[in-house]
């Protein structure tokens, strides 16, 4: 079963956002799946072992993105202006190619991202805001 994505409203700080939903959706495994895109680089990840809170920052095509779980679903947002529809559409297509069995890669993804910093460098956030 592929992931279901739905575009969300935009804000000044996050001009393009989408919600990802699936009953078998591990945020870390989805991040690992996104990393298959050439040039995508995960730079920070914040999550806690006993909670469902998750936040990761990654760069793709010189744009900064955040993936987080504000509620129960997974959200992916482009940070900063201008909105870049073609790049965002590439991410959305990659998300839709995720398959249910990739959820089993969750423990591997947690191990891979374990030593990343919790927050991206402040200079990077300022550059993309």
- Write out the CATH class of domain 4-115: alpha beta
Q: Is the pTM here over 0.85, yes or no?
A: yes
CA distances from 129 to 10, 52, 71, 108, 123 (A): 14, 27, 24, 32, 10
What pLDDT digit, counting tens, does each position of 69-118 carry? 877 788 999 998 888 899 999 999 999 999 888 888 888 988 999 999 99
What pLDDT digit, counting tens, does each position of 3-55 carry? 888 888 877 777 899 988 876 678 889 999 999 999 999 999 988 665 678 89
Burial profile 9-36: b = 16 or more Cβ within 10 angstroms, e = fewer: eeeeebbbbbbbebeebbbbbbbbbbbe
């Amino acid at each position: 079963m592929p992931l279901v994505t739905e575009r969300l409203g935009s804000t000044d700080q996050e001009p393009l956002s989408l919600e990802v939903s699936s009953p078998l959706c591990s945020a870390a495994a989805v991040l690992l799946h996104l990393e298959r895109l050439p040039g995508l680089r995960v730079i920070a990840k914040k999550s806690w072992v006993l909670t469902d809170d998750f936040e990761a920052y990654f760069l793709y095509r010189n744009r900064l993105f955040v993936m987080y779980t504000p509620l129960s679903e997974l959200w992916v947002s482009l940070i900063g202006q201008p909105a870049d529809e073609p790049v965002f559409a590439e991410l959305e297509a990659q998300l839709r190619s995720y398959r249910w069995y990739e959820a089993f890669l969750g423990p591997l993804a947690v191990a891979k991202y374990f030593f990343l910093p919790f927050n991206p460098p402040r200079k990077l956030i300022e550059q993309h805001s």
